[in-house]
Every structure is written in structure tokens, then in C-alpha cells.
Structure 1
């Protein structure tokens, strides 16, 4: 994988936290995975987003603070059919604010399973009002309709590319200030 400016685009590291399953429910949760997404900005520039898909944080667990040092941004995901998952996203957003000490970084929130209208537990307007108070962008999406995911990642890539705050996660081949080595 080529990162940094050697690929004519920047690479941004994002932590992806999802709270979509009811606590205690039987599920096959993600332990941890990494995905690389090429997202086009609103200026037509392609940016590489490296998503660190975490297992989320279960009730009573300590938030893994090492993510704060590597992440350029955060994608928080809840399920619109689980009020509990929305409350966990609220808690995690507050943890991010405390730990990052208002450091520059982007946070977006995705309300997944928007297609499950009959099962909805999180009202759209309540979620949007929360997002305005927290000063984050929130979209309701459905993984069954991948078009709903395009706008959030376009906005995120655009915001990250406007920022000069590049990732500090040391990877081979990444160019950082004062490092012109293309190895």
C-alpha cells in the first residue's frame, strides 16, 4: 500500500466505532480490522482514508486512549433501531472531547439501519438536534444502499484535506514535515 504523497493523495487515519448491537445480544462483532477507502473531496481530489474498525467499547470498558494519538478523525456509528447504541455514541463523543482536549480532528456520526422504519428507536430530529449541540455532522444511512454512505465520506475527506493536521501515525513511506524519504 502506498501512502502519503507518493500516491498523489494524502492518507488520513480514522477510528471507526460502531455500537449497533444490543449489549448482551448474540452477535459476531468485529475484533479489529483496517479498511482503506479512496474518497473524493468536494474539490474532486481523491483522498485515502484508512479506517481502523474497532470493536467499539462495551459498557464498563475503558476507552482505548491510544486511538487518540493516531486518529485524524472519528466515525461513530449507532443503529437507529437501538436507543442504547445512540446513548453509547453520545458517551463516546464526550470521551473523545475530553481526551483530545479540543485538539483538531473531525468527528462524523452515522445512524445506520435507516431502512428499518418499523423498528426505529432513535428519532431523526432528536439525533439531529444532538448533532447540532455536539457540533458534528450526522447522517442516517443504510448499508443496503451504499449511495447513502458517499456524502458522509466526501464531507469527511474534504474537511480532512483542508486541515494541515496530518496523521502522526508512523508508517513506512509516509511523508511528514521534515521527512522527504520515499522509502
Structure 2
């Protein structure tokens, strides 16, 4: 086993952080099902390159933030990347992501980290409160990637975890999803190297459920 990678998933309470992880990794989330408030969970997987080298990745699913609460300090320690989540039907949750980005910038010292922003519940168009153009303008100014996603559409969750590689990288293969992820237990899922990359190997990675 190679190096271990720490990815912190954070955002306001009830934006769908846990649902995103469970749907992405296992494909077993039932939309509309009752969710128990997360205290803090860790999802562990291993990434296997085409060269047969494994890298461990730990997704830290943090407790949803409420008024006056801050991200725990240990979330800034030895962290390789962040996934900031807001809900497109909540302007307040987007403002929380803006604050989190500032907090991360102050706490990361000189270490370069990858930051990905997800606007969840984009399928709820009638309840939308966050203008997508405004969100993308902010993301561009902050030099982060932002995607609008829906837990109801598992494929929408893949692209944020398949960042395009550098120009000298080989073209990535097509990302394939198993029809029954829990039974097959593995699928191609790449978080390719970019300027701020979790990994140093230029290829499409395979995420294997441990």
C-alpha cells in the first residue's frame, strides 16, 4: 500500500454530504430516505493505478455546520483535499461554502490542496435559490472547480471526481459504472492529477471498495 490521502467533505447541515458519498461509492442511497445526522464518519477505499500501485484514500464525512459552528481544527491537519458541498435550494448554504473556502485558505499554510465545490439538489429547479452563473463566477474568482450535481443521478457525481489531467497526460479512458455496484464492488473512477493534485500518477485510477 502506498501513501494515504485525506479528503475532507464539509458544508452546512442537510446539504447532502453523506448522501453524495454513499451514492458515489456504493450506489445504494435511496432518495427521500430519512437520514441520521452525521457526527463524523470515514469512508475508506483504495485507488489502484494501471501500474498496479495502490493508494489509500480516506473521505472524512464531517458533521453538518450550523450557525456559530466551525470546521473542527483536525480537519485542517495533513489534508490533501476538500469537497465543499452546498444545496442549490439554499442561499445560506452557498454562503457557508464561501466562508469555508476563506477558512481553508487561512489554515492550509503553504501546502497546495485540491478544492472541489458541489452544488447538490440541482434537480429541484423550482426550489432553486442559488444562481448557477453567480456560483460559477465565484468559483472562477477563487480558482476552484464547481459542479452542480444530484444524488438522484449517480452519473452526475462522477465528473467532479475525474478532474482533467495536465496536457501531457494520456487521454483518460471512459469511466464505467457497474450496474450493481454493491455486488461488483469496483468501478473505474479517476481523480486525475491537475495543478493541485491528490496524486502524482498520470492515469485513470480504479477505486476499489475495501
Both proteins in one fold, TM over 0.5: yes
Distance in 2 between the 1:149 and 1:48 partners?
Answer: 20
Residue equivalent to 1:73: 81
Q: How many residues align?
A: 151
Residue 33 of structure 1 aligns to a residue whose secondary structure is strand
Match of 1:15 among 8, 27, 48: 8
Q: 1:161/1:70 Cα in 2 relative to 1: closer, same or farther (>3 Å)?
A: same
RMSD: 2.6
Residue equivalent to 1:161: 199
Match of 2:139 among 127, 131, 143: 131
> Which region of structure 1 is more displaced relative to structure 2, 54-63 or 108-117?
54-63
Q: 1:118/1:47 Cα in 2 relative to 1: closer, same or farther (>3 Å)?
A: farther
Match of 2:122 among 94, 109, 114: 114
Please give the residue correspondences for 1:20-169 in structure 2 after superposition, counting only pairs within 5 Å: 21=14, 28-37=36-45, 48-155=56-163, 157-158=191-192, 159-162=197-200
Q: 1:101/1:82 Cα in 2 relative to 1: closer, same or farther (>3 Å)?
A: same
> For the Cα contact (< 8 Å) 2:13–2:63, is it kept in 1?
no
**How much has 1:49 moved relative to structure 2?**
2.8
**Any unmatched runs of 5+ in structure 1?**
164-183
Q: Provide runs of 4+ in structure 1 moved above 3 Å.
A: 37-41, 45-48
Residue 199 of structure 2 aligns to a residue whose secondary structure is helix
Distance in 1 between the 2:151 and 2:92 partners?
Answer: 20
- Report the TM-score when normalising by structure 1: 0.72
- Report the TM-score when normalising by structure 2: 0.64
Residue equivalent to 1:170: none
Residue 162 of structure 1 aligns to a residue whose secondary structure is coil
Distance in 2 between the 1:20 and 1:131 partners?
Answer: 21
Distance in 2 between the 1:21 and 1:69 partners?
Answer: 25
